[in-house]
Structure formats: C-alpha cells, structure tokens
Amino acid sequence: MFALLLTVILTLGGAVLFVICGGSNLEALQGPPIAIAVIGALIVLYLLSMHASEHRIGRLPAVIALIVVAFAGAAMSRPDTTAKLAHYFDAPKHDDYGQLAAFQGPASVRIRKLADGFIATSEINGQSMSALVDSGAATVVLRQSDAERAGIDVRSLTFDTPLKTANGTSYLAPVRLKSVRIGDIVADDVEALVAKPGTLNENLLGMSFLRRLTSYEVAGDFVTLRQ
C-alpha cells in the first residue's frame, strides 16, 4: 500500500512540477487538461479500491495508465500545446477568406433565365445594377443613367462608336470600367460602351467581360459563369 501511494504522489507531483517549470498557468488548465485530470482521479480511486484485493498484479496496468494520463495532462496544459490544438479545431475566420476561397476552388455564378433573358445582379464600379448576359455584344454596354451612377462623367464622353441595332445605327461612347462584379466573380479594367438615353433598355454584359472568364455555358434555363 505504501509503495502504491508513493507512486501516485510522485507521479502527480512530477506532473505539477512539469507544468510549473514549463511556464503554464491556471488559465491553461481548462478543456482537455481538466478532462485528463478527472480521468486521473478516477484511476486513483480505482487503485485505492483494489487495495484490499489479493490480486494486486491487476494494479499494474492502472498505475501505468495513471502515469500516462498525468504527463499527457501536463503536456496539454502548456500554452504552446493548447494553442496548437486550437489552431486545428478553430473555425475559419473572415480574415482567412482568401485562403478559404482558394481551397474551395474557382468562383462560379449560376443565373436563371427570366422573360427578358439571363438578367444578372451586378456591381459596376461598386454600384449595384442589373445587366443582361449577352454573348452577342462585343463589350459591356451601359445605359447613360447607370454610367453616371457608376461614377462616369458622361458630359466628357464622345459618342463616336457606331452600333447597328434593329432600329438603325446608334453611336456610343467608349469607356473603361474599374471593376465588374457578379457574385464572387470580379473583372478589373473592363472595356465598355455608354449608350445615349433611349437607345438601350437594359445594360449588357458582353464579351469584354465574358472573355475574362474561364468558361460560361447555357444549360436549360440557367447560364453558369466560371472564373
């Protein structure tokens, strides 16, 4: 009995010294260390309950388990160990969005067809506006009112680029857009045209944007854009 208690005392004492010398503190003794301490206490009670047993050789596995649990608890209570475990089990933060997106793969957007076609909710120069996905248009084409919302000085534009439509030939003004965004898909410095008032019913997302994508495909009532 004396040898058994001495083993328990030395084991627990050694674990405490390991924690103190390792620079740990009481704040670190939470989570897994607490669970291990409880398991260690249960093993101690088990050993004491076997004191009156004649089969004392059965205590050996429990003593070994107690030693392993005690030192594991001490190691996990060290700040560096706790931090490493937290790193593996913490959920991704918003600051890690770039790395998370890279892990999930390329960005893609799926747009349902409406009565007027594939109308996307886009952001042009940071301003939200609708636009029709149109592979038949050579460039992005904006209505003059939406171009003004996007920060374009329409008074300085020169409407000298001809465009043939069903109603005849119209003249548009060439511009460069800082950015065009649809969902997670973003294209910077995009070539575009601005139409005069009354020329265009809907903004067009033409090939100057679509060719910046890795692919776009129509399947049934949906078009899928991938970057």
Q: Decide if pLDDT at 154 tops 90.
A: yes
Beta partners for residue 122, in sequence order: 129
What does the block give as tokens for 184? 């997670």
- Phi/psi of residue 114, nearest 5 degrees: -105, -175
CA 3 to chain centre: 56
Q: What is the pLDDT of residue 48?
A: 58
Helix/strand/coil (H, E, C) string of 129-186? Answer: EEEEECCCCCCEEEEHHHHHHCCCCHHHCCCCEEEEECCEEEEEEEEEEEEEEECCEE
Is the model more confident about 58 or about 116? 116
Is 142:193 a contact under the CB 8 Å cutoff?
yes
pLDDT at 131 over 50: yes
Provide the CA 78 distance to its chain's centre, in angstroms: 30
pLDDT of residue 198: 86
Return the top range by mean pLDDT from 18-22, 92-96, 146-150: 146-150
CA distance linking residue 199 with residue 66, whole number of Å: 83
Task: Select from 225, 202, 221 the least CA-distant residue to 112.
Answer: 221
Q: How far apart are CA 125 and CA 145, in angstroms?
A: 14
Q: Give the helix/strand (H/E) hosting 111.
A: strand 108-112
Enter the pTM of the model: 0.53
Q: Write the DSSP assignment of 15-70 as a string of letters.
A: HHHHHHHTT--GGGSSSHHHHHHHHHHHHHHHHHHTTT-S-GGGHHHHHHHHHHHH
pLDDT band at 164 (very low <50, low <70, confident <90, very high): confident
Q: Which two tokens stand for residue 63?
A: 């003593």
Run of H or E including 217: strand 215-219
- The crossing angle, in degrees rounded to 10, of helices 32-49 and 59-76 is 160
Helices 2-21 and 59-76 cross at an angle (nearest 10°) of: 10
Share of the chain above pLDDT 90, in %: 46
Residue 135's nearest CA partner among 115, 153, 120 is 120
Q: What is the pLDDT of residues 171-214, one digit of tens each?
A: 999 999 999 999 999 999 999 999 999 888 999 999 999 999 99
**Listed residue (127, 131, 129, 128) closest to 116, CA to CA:** 131
Q: Beta strands 108-112 and 161-165: pairing type?
A: unpaired
**What is the reported pLDDT for 100?**
38
